[in-house]
């Protein structure tokens, strides 16, 4: 909630230092919100359709991506100047207020409250959530003794290291390519279609319009994954999605060996990026988000999901920082081929460390984890 207000403050940035400061504050705020949002949904939804509901909510990320492109295009058409970015940030003030009001009415997680033996508050929260009276009973002494007391360090214990790796490493590998491609698709398209064009605003508009068309496949990918996640399962979709991402990136990389001006070059780039966007939201971009909120026990679910998201964002930051450097040093073709390998590695790690939450309650997932025995 605070993140949206700080996005709006970013519109008032008066120099580079203030802009960096406000964006840093936005990152901290949204970084705290990002891993908890899906946990709130996961802990409030029956296991039979938990995956669909989490993905339905997460799909608005793709809607937001398209919305951001449309806002950028609209602002550049209304105010075709370099300072148009101030307006792009300012328009987020209204959705920020709406989200703040809606979030303030959410009840606290009954699972979280119960794990801390606050049964009275947990009962009130469950009653508010289910719109009927709920009375949670105290655990017996035997049940309390059997339930382990867990801390952050237990994420790396022999019992939970398997799900920690499953939740974090594929997400890291997925973010390497998703953020790299997502951030630099406009610049790649701008280079292709407006090479030699001196008008900066025209180059930006062309790149934004092309990027928006490619980003439509993000929504299509989500629409495909929502009905499948509780039927097929998270793990098969993640594996297939990673392999599909690798194929899309491989197709895009072929465009670099085709001479400038050849009629196949642009279709290959569009086909590769569109297939990548579809497969990432059918698989790893969607499934890593769902899995991180399901595979940990309640006591460390927030810590586990937070660690997974933080570890993943190391990949996102790395791609944002190193992508342009590597693209200049080794070329677009070689860079895309490296991302093909990271996608295939994501599929392999998902398979090796697989734990399928489909149809299981969070309690079953939390304390019934198989001990990892690497043999």
- Range in 221-225, 247-251, 309-313 the model is least confident about: 221-225
Residue 92: what pLDDT? 79
Mean pLDDT within 89-101: 81
- In sequence order, what are the residues at sequence separation of 6 or more whose Cβ sits closer than 8 angstroms to the Cβ of residue 333? 253, 256, 257
For the stretch 22-62, pLDDT in tens is: 888 888 877 777 778 878 888 878 888 888 988 888 888 77
> CA–CA separation, 82 vs 76, rounded Å?
9
User: 16-42 and 50-58 helices cross at what angle (nearest 10)?
Assistant: 160
What crossing angle do the helices spanning 161-193 and 298-330 adopt, rounded to 10°?
A: 30
In this predicted model, which residue has the larger pLDDT, 336 or 183? 336
d(CA 202, CA 73): 10
- The pLDDT confidence band at residue 314, using thresholds 50, 70 and 90, is very high
For residue 25, how many other CB atoms are within 10 A of its CB?
Answer: 17
pLDDT reading at 245 higher than 80: yes
d(CA 361, CA 297): 11
19 contacts 10 by C-beta, under 8 angstroms:
yes
pLDDT in tens, 74-85: 887 787 777 777
Q: Which residue has the higher pLDDT, 350 or 330?
A: 350
Q: What is the pLDDT of residues 143-202, one digit of tens each?
A: 444 556 788 999 999 989 999 999 999 999 999 988 877 766 666 655 555 454 444 455
Q: Specify the higher pLDDT residue, 311 or 67.
A: 311
Query: 223 CB contacts (<8 Å, ≥6 apart)?
Result: 59
* pLDDT, mean of residues 215-229: 84
Tokens of 208: 């934004």
The predicted structure's pLDDT at residue 259: 67
How far apart CA 28 and CA 243 sit, in angstroms, is 32
Most confident stretch, 12-16, 65-69, 201-205: 12-16
Distance CA 220, CA 233 (A): 19
- Mean model confidence pLDDT for the chain: 80
Q: Is 66 exposed, middle or buried (0-12, 13-18, 19+ CB in 10 A)?
A: middle
pLDDT tens-digit profile of 269-279? Answer: 778 888 998 99
Alpha-carbon distance 104 to 109, whole Å? 13
Range 88-94 average pLDDT:
81
The predicted structure's pLDDT at residue 268: 82
Q: Is the pLDDT of residue 98 over 90?
A: no
Diameter over CA atoms, the chain: 75
Report the percent of the chain where pLDDT is more than 90. Answer: 26
With CA atoms as reference, report the closest residue to 110 among 93, 91, 129, 138.
129
According to the model, what pLDDT value does residue 308 have? Answer: 94
Give the pLDDT score at 369.
52
pLDDT at 292: 92
| Domains of the chain with bracketed CATH | 2-105+153-367 (1.20.1250.20), 110-147 (no CATH)
Contact 273, 211 (CB under 8 A): no
Give the pLDDT confidence score for residue 277 in this predicted structure. Answer: 87
């Amino acid at each position: 909630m605070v993140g949206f207000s700080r996005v709006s403050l970013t519109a008032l940035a008066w120099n580079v230092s203030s802009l960096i400061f406000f964006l840093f504050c936005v990152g901290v705020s949204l970084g705290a919100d990002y891993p908890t949002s899906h946990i709130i949904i996961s802990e409030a939804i029956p296991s039979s359709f938990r995956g669909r509901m989490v993905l339905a909510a997460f799909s608005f990320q793709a809607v937001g991506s398209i919305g951001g492109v449309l806002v950028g295009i609209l602002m550049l058409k209304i105010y075709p100047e370099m300072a148009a970015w101030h307006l792009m940030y300012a328009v987020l003030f209204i959705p920020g207020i709406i989200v703040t009001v809606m979030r303030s009415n959410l009840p606290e997680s009954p699972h979280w409250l119960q794990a801390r033996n606050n049964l009275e508050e947990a009962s009130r929260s469950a009653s508010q959530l289910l719109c009927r009276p709920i009375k949670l009973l105290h655990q017996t002494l035997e049940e309390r003794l059997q339930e382990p007391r867990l801390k952050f360090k237990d994420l790396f214990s022999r019992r939970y290291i398997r799900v920690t790796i499953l939740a974090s490493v594929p997400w890291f590998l997925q973010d390497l390519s998703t953020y790299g491609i997502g951030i630099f698709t406009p610049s790649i398209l701008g280079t292709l279609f407006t090479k030699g064009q001196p008008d900066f605003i025209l180059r930006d508009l062309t790149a934004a319009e092309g990027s928006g068309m490619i980003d439509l496949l993000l929504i299509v990918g989500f629409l495909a994954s929502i009905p499948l996640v509780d039927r097929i399962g998270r793990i098969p979709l993640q594996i297939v999605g990673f392999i599909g991402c690798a194929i899309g990136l491989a197709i895009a990389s072929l465009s670099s060996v085709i001479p400038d001006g050849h009629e196949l070059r642009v279709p290959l780039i569009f086909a590769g990026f569109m297939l990548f966007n579809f497969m990432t939201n059918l698989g790893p971009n969607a499934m890593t988000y769902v899995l991180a909120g399901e595979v940990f026990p309640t006591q460390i679910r927030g810590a586990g999901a937070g660690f997974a998201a933080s570890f993943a964002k190391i990949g996102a930051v790395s791609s944002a920082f190193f992508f342009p450097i590597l693209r200049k040093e080794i070329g677009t073709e070689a860079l895309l081929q490296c991302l093909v390998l990271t996608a295939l590695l994501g599929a392999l790690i998902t398979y090796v460390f697989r734990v399928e939450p489909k149809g299981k309650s969070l309690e079953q997932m939390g304390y019934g984890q198989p001990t990892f025995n690497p043999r």
